[in-house]
Amino acid sequence: MVNLAVIYYSSTGTNYQLAKWAEEAGKEAGADVRVVKVPELAPEAAIASNPGWKAHVEETKDVPEATSDDIEWADAIIFSVPTRFGNLASQMKQYLDMQGGLWATGKTVNKVVSAMSSAQNPHGGQEATILALYTSMMHWGAIIVPPGYTDQLLFAAGGNPYGTSVTQGQDGKMVEDVQAAVKHQAKRTIEIAKKVANK
């Protein structure tokens, strides 16, 4: 059985939903799945001033926070993170930066990883954000598994070969229908992890 960690950051819920779809697909593929959120860094005043953000924090208060143990445990990792000016949200960046101990002892080597993202408009930096995360994964010695164009359903979701990405509309809802793309990406990640681990 492949151990799959789905590690996400979400302020208003889009990337949490992507993570939940990845979890569903992981379980369907027979993986042992953990969904964990990276710690929130934003001040309480900022969260309180945004009703959607405040509601999501309350909604996910029981989701465990990600630690280094989740990375060490995992054979495969799927990251889901919104874009911030074409880069990783600081919450995810700090979480990655805190993994120097694992990296220094070789415990990030050959982890099979894939990533997803979101932004408020179709060209809002989703691809750049995923590529920025993959840069860190190269330093980890991880094995990056993008969806590429491995299934026709990916075109209906926008056709991002780096990782599933979605636009969050002004109403807070996803513009593109990406559920099937997320599930395909998760199952592909598990498939490659099985080959790497000979499971």
Record the pTM. Answer: 0.96
- CA gyration radius, the chain: 16
Going by pLDDT thresholds of 50, 70 and 90, the confidence category of residue 161 is very high
Lowest mean pLDDT among 11-20, 102-111, 116-125: 116-125
pLDDT digit string, tens, across residues 42-65: 999 999 999 999 999 999 999 999
Are 68 and 98 in contact, with CB atoms under 8 Å apart?
yes
pLDDT at 122 over 90: no
- pLDDT number for residue 66: 98
pLDDT(195) > 90: yes
Residue 199 pLDDT grade (very low, low, confident, very high; cuts 50, 70, 90) = low
Domain 3-197 of CATH type 3.40.50.360 = yes
Q: Which of 166, 151, 126, 15 is nearest to 23 (CA)?
A: 15
